[in-house]
Amino acid sequence: MSVRSTEVRLAARPHGWPTAETFAITQVDVADPAPGQLLVRNLLMSVDPYMRGRMDDRKSYVPPFQVGEALQGGAVGEVVTSTVDGFKPGDHVLHGLGWREYALVDARSAAKVDPSVAPLGAYLGVLGMTGLTAYAGLLRTAEFKPGDVVFVSSAAGAVGQVVGQLAKHRGAARVIGSAGSAAKVSYLTGELGFDAAFDYHDGPVREQLKRAAPDGIDVYFDNVGGEHLEAAISALNVHGRITVCGMISVYNATEPTPAPRNLAMLIGKRITMRGMLVGDHADLRDAFVKEVAPLVADGTIRHRETVFEGLAQAPEAFLAMLRGEGFGKNLVKIA
């Protein structure tokens, strides 16, 4: 017997910043699961920066969302009906069909999660894709070494908050973060233990970073791009490393944005700059969970979530994330 489900669709491709008109909320009938499928009632969903790129009709590392179809993204839900051995009603699963109340999920694309081990939101954040992004981006892509001075942009965000704390735990000499408000700066230097942090609205990033890292930096974990990337290149020491995880400052640009004006510094400083996609680092998942889960459990690594109530708030949760509002991971509580 089919169930009635609310879902959020892409109503129109945005030009520049998405607006409320980018989204449409509708109801559909969801059929019984076919062999190999699960019917899942979603409880929590994630909103993430990469989703903005999928709203554009352009070639990328992941296919674009289609106008008139439901959006997709990470979600945790409860199995209602299963056609597959190994899954039963009541199991909690992590999958990629968020933005809807009920989802027909291929069992091979679902992973069991245990709410008695960690809160469900953790599997979408600190112990999920964003946590693994921080782990792989710092340790593998940036080749972090004990004694490094590390700078993280958007450091109070879902990925950044983990990067900085993991660097401290692994023996960084100094960890510096940038954020978008005084409250976030206080969160970084207080609750998360960053050595220094600054509000990028308070003055040129290059000058504030120089004050925070007078002897330069060895690693830059980039979530922002633009002025932050240019400032980091100036501050990097010889053989410095950059992980380019995201460039949220340019995602909604309608015209080409200028490259950092100091790229030639990469030559003399012998800087390594690498882009990263978390999907390339699935082989690190077991090591990541083994190391980070106990650190979360004992409070060594702290994290915050900003939760929006109800599926109808999913568009606003997404837009708030793009605006840099909220602390840590933005989630939507569906049920």
DSSP 281-311: GGGGHHHHHHHHHHHHHTTSS---EEEEESG
**How sure is the predictor about 265, in pLDDT bands with cuts at 50, 70 and 90?**
very high
Residue 219, strand partner residues: 150, 241
Residues of the chain with CATH 3.90.180.10: 3-125+303-333
For 208-263, what is each residue's pLDDT tens digit? 999 999 999 999 999 999 999 999 999 999 999 999 999 999 889 888 888 799 99
For 100-139, what is each residue's pLDDT tens digit? 999 999 999 999 999 998 999 999 999 999 999 999 999 9
Query: Is the pTM here over 0.75, yes or no?
Result: yes
Specify the CATH number of the domain 129-279: 3.40.50.720
1.10.4080.10, 1.10.40.60, 3.90.180.10, 1.10.3720.10: CATH of 3-125+303-333: 3.90.180.10
What is the rounded CA–CA span in Å between residue 139 and residue 20?
A: 38
Exposure letters 117-153 (e unless 16+ CB within 10 A, then b):
ebbbbbbbbbbbbbbbbbbbbbbbbbebeeebbbbbb
Place of tokens 């019917």: 39
Residues of the chain with CATH 3.40.50.720: 129-279
What is the rounded CA–CA span in Å between residue 103 and residue 318?
A: 20
What is the rounded CA–CA span in Å between residue 130 and residue 140?
A: 15
For 56-68, what is each residue's pLDDT tens digit? 999 888 899 999 9
Q: Please compute Rg for the chain using Cα positions.
A: 20
For 276-303, what is each residue's pLDDT tens digit? 999 999 999 999 999 999 999 999 999 9
